Amino acid sequence: MTSSSLTPVSASYAQALLAAQQACGQQNYPRGALYVVATPIGNLADISLRALHVLQLADLIACEDTRHTQALLRAYGIDKPPVQMLALHQHNEAQAAQAVLERLRQGLRVAYVSDAGTPAISDPGARLVADARQAGLPVLPLPGASSITTVLSVAGLTLDAQHPDGFVFAGFLPSKSGERHTAVQALAGEARAVVLLEAPHRIEALATALAMLGARAVTVGRELTKQFEEIATLAAQDFPAWLAQDSNRLRGEFALVLHPAPVTLASGPDRRVLQMLMAELPLKTAVKLAAEITGESRNALYELALMLKAGKP
């Protein structure tokens, strides 16, 4: 994910580099392999020991922005000459990927990093990975920071009877207002939680669009892991006003979780269909068939089935 700045934690990472060597030096890092390396989304201390080791070991580092990555490497005390750096971004990924594949065929270790976070999700890298795999070349992931998992971890989502289906990742919604409005209308019918990303210059437009979802909860993560990190959960209809309360809230990168839509319990004929099926079938099978027959939400029927089984009215 994108990152407007990096928050330094220490002036020297010499001990971290030594720890990386001690922890990872005996592990196997094959030649001719592409290493997809996650880097911090803001706080330099969030780098992994394995990432530090591979970034030192790599014969070539392909990256979204060579200047940004050079600054990142130097912050850790890693110095790579320009000849060991290759720009690979959304505008040249197809061509640059072929250059990387040639280096891999020569037996070089190549690391790929985006500007921040885990590559190939909302950042470049997916085409490179696909081309490498199609060519039969090994691709090895080095897990680490991601704004997606970071914001989910503080959203307080629970997988329960009402919301058993997890979340979906939607990334950046369309920039054009009409297309964005249509996308939000589609999200209104999504029963699962939805993770969104947004840049500061478009956050007000996104907030206005999401306000149509009324009381549906949104967790807003701004400048995650950085000095001025801010996390808030509020009703979608209150999002524009929340932004307007403080001009600083328009700054930085955003990761958001649109919480699952509240479940409305079925009633009337739908309830009777479910009760009849529950009398003859296992609960999950009864819920599945009731949803197919009535068109009612499976989540709502499952919640109702649990209440009926517990003897609640």
- Could you tell me if residue 6 is inside a domain? no
Model pLDDT for residues 223-276, shown as the tens digit of each residue? 999 999 999 999 999 999 999 999 999 999 999 999 987 766 556 777 888 889
Q: Do 102 and 43 fall into the same domain?
A: yes
Q: Do 253 and 134 fall into the same domain?
A: no
Q: Do 140 and 156 fall into the same domain?
A: no
Task: Tell me which residue of 61, 34, 51, 36 sits closest to 138, measured CA to CA.
Answer: 34
**Based on the structure, what is the number of domains in the chain?**
3
Token look-up 């009703």 returns 235
Q: Do 137 and 20 fall into the same domain?
A: yes
Alpha helices in 112-268 (DSSP H): 126-134, 147-153, 177-188, 203-210, 239-244
Backbone angles phi, psi at 159, to 5 degrees: -90, 105
Range of the domain at 273: 269-309
Q: What is the mean pLDDT of the chain?
A: 91
- Could you tell me if residue 9 is inside a domain? no
Q: Do 45 and 119 fall into the same domain?
A: yes
Residue 72 maps to which CATH number?
Answer: 3.40.1010.10
> CB 153: neighbour CB atoms within 10 A?
11
Q: Do 171 and 107 fall into the same domain?
A: no
Token look-up 């068939």 returns 289
- Could you tell me if residue 263 is inside a domain? no
Q: Which of 29-43, 149-163, 288-302 has the highest mean pLDDT?
A: 29-43
- Could you tell me if residue 300 is inside a domain? yes
Q: What is the value of pTM for the model shown?
A: 0.82
Q: Do 141 and 24 fall into the same domain?
A: yes
Token look-up 């996308």 returns 183
User: What pLDDT, on a 0 to 100 scale, did the predictor assign at position 285?
Assistant: 92
312 or 254: which carries more pLDDT confidence?
A: 254
Model pLDDT for residues 100-144, shown as the tens digit of each residue? 999 999 999 999 999 999 999 999 999 999 999 999 999 999 999
Give CA angle at 245 (243, 247), nearest 5°: 70
Q: Do 52 and 96 fall into the same domain?
A: yes
Model pLDDT for residues 28-61, shown as the tens digit of each residue? 999 999 999 999 999 999 999 999 999 999 999 9
The stretch 92-97 carries a mean pLDDT of 96
Q: Do 180 and 247 fall into the same domain?
A: yes
Domain boundary among 145, 164, 180: 145
Q: Do 133 and 152 fall into the same domain?
A: no
Residue 157 maps to which CATH number?
Answer: 3.30.950.10
- Could you tell me if residue 69 is inside a domain? yes
Domain boundary among 145, 163, 186: 145
- Could you tell me if residue 273 is inside a domain? yes
Task: Tell me which residue of 163, 234, 166 sits closest to 195, measured CA to CA.
Answer: 166
Cα end-to-end span (Å), the chain: 47
**pLDDT value at 8 more than 70:** no
